[in-house]
Amino acid sequence: MKNPLKDKKIVFLDLDGTVYLGDNLIPGAKNFLKNLASKGIHFYFLSNNSSRSKLDYVKKLSRLGINTTKERIILSTDGVIDFLIRNKVKDTYIVGTRSMMDMFEEAGINPCSDSPEYVVLGFDTELVYEKLRKAAFFLLKDIPLLATHPDLVCPTP
């Protein structure tokens, strides 16, 4: 049988529904990661779930018995933050969780501006009417909208 990991130097793994589902590891996930590490293959975790920060994912993986760092986690939020930094955007209005807003603040971007340059839409598990009202107000003033990800299916147990 051919080894699909032969000659691989790096592997990217989705988190939700691939490494774990809910609060349970996918069977074989931990052994797979140990196997990668033993072969010297670097691995990174990916998620398009913008409701959590990198630190949230580090803590969750740790609870599941997988030790990692924020540097090994790549989120859809990272792409939006990178775009905003490259375009020297400092003020946004975020429809997203506190964890998502924390990532923007860490990057030097105001997530709750009263004069945003962009409205940013994430997966908001803390959504309240006031956030929608303010976002609609800004969008009606032609403030551009950025979405962290299109996700038609959110894996759940």
Can you give the pLDDT at residue 150?
Answer: 73
Longest dimension (CA), the chain: 60
Residues 6+ apart with CB under 8 A from 45: 12, 13, 14, 15, 19, 57, 61, 68, 72, 73, 74
Can you give the pLDDT at residue 20?
Answer: 95
CATH 3.40.50.1000 corresponds to the domain 10-75? yes
Amino acid of residue 104: F
10-75 and 83-147 have identical folds: yes
- For residues 11 and 74, what is the distance between their CA atoms, to the nearest angstrom? 12
User: What six digits make up the tokens of 54?
Assistant: 């990198």
Domains of the chain, by residue range, sit at 10-75, 83-147
Edge-to-edge strands, sheet with 92-95: 92-95, 118-121, 145-147
CATH 3.40.50.1000 corresponds to the domain 83-147? yes
pLDDT means per 10 residues in the chain (157 residues)? 81 93 93 93 94 95 96 96 98 97 97 98 94 98 92 63
Can you give the pLDDT at residue 87?
Answer: 98
DSSP E strands, the chain: 10-14, 20-21, 24-25, 42-47, 73-75, 92-95, 118-121, 145-147
Rounded to two decimals, what is the model's pTM? 0.86
User: What six digits make up the tokens of 71?
Assistant: 């540097």
- For residues 57 and 141, what is the distance between their CA atoms, to the nearest angstrom? 35
